[in-house]
Amino acid sequence: MLQIEERAESIMGLKIEAIDHVTVQVTDVPRAKAFYGRLLGLEEMERPKSFDFPGAWYRAGTAVVHLVSQEKGEPEGRHHFCLWVADIKEAFKTLHDAGQAVQWDTRRKIPGIARFFIRDPDGNRIEFQGSDGTTWAA
């Protein structure tokens, strides 16, 4: 295994510019598409024809969410990805009114940011963040 301390000089030239995509494992693609496309309102993108297995791609700002079908779901855990929203209170209301179990995180406050978590139909955890109105945050 590569020891980072041994190679620090070459790693310093690595300049990450952005997260391109995240992959979310789902067991029922139509159900997941209803969640990510209709409920969350993400724009579905065309997948390359070489992706000949069930799934879907959705645009989330400058990043992409890849839904990939698998037979069995993953165990629920704390792993997640986060979506920034323009209005955190409206996002909460929309998801709560749609029957989603919303869990606010008030224990680990990030200055200027309000955030909550939900789970998709397969139990994948999704964080939502937005300005709490006290400071500008992006």
- pLDDT-derived band at 104 (thresholds 50, 70, 90) equals very high
Handedness of CA 14, 20, 24, 28 (dihedral sign): negative
The lowest-confidence range among 85-89, 91-95, 102-106, 112-116 is 102-106
Are the beta carbons of 58 and 45 closer than 8 angstroms?
A: yes
What mean pLDDT, rounded, does the chain reach? 89
Are the beta carbons of 106 and 120 closer than 8 angstroms?
A: no
pLDDT of residue 6: 57
pLDDT of residue 122: 96
- Per-residue model confidence as pLDDT tens digits over 31-55: 999 999 999 999 999 999 999 999 9
Token duo for residue 70: 């698998």
- pLDDT-derived band at 5 (thresholds 50, 70, 90) equals low
Domains along the chain with CATH numbers = 19-131 (3.10.180.10)
pLDDT of residue 1: 57
Radius of gyration for the chain, computed over Cα atoms and rounded to the nearest angstrom: 17
Token duo for residue 2: 């590569």
- Predicted TM-score (pTM) of this structure: 0.85
Report which secondary-structure segment, H or E, holds 32.
helix 29-33
Token duo for residue 106: 């008030």
Instruction: Show Cβ contacts of residue 72 under 8 Å, excluding neighbours closer than 6 positions.
Output: 27
Q: Are strands 80-84 and 43-45 parallel, antiparallel or unpaired?
A: unpaired
> What's the CA gap between 124 and 106, in Å, rounded?
21
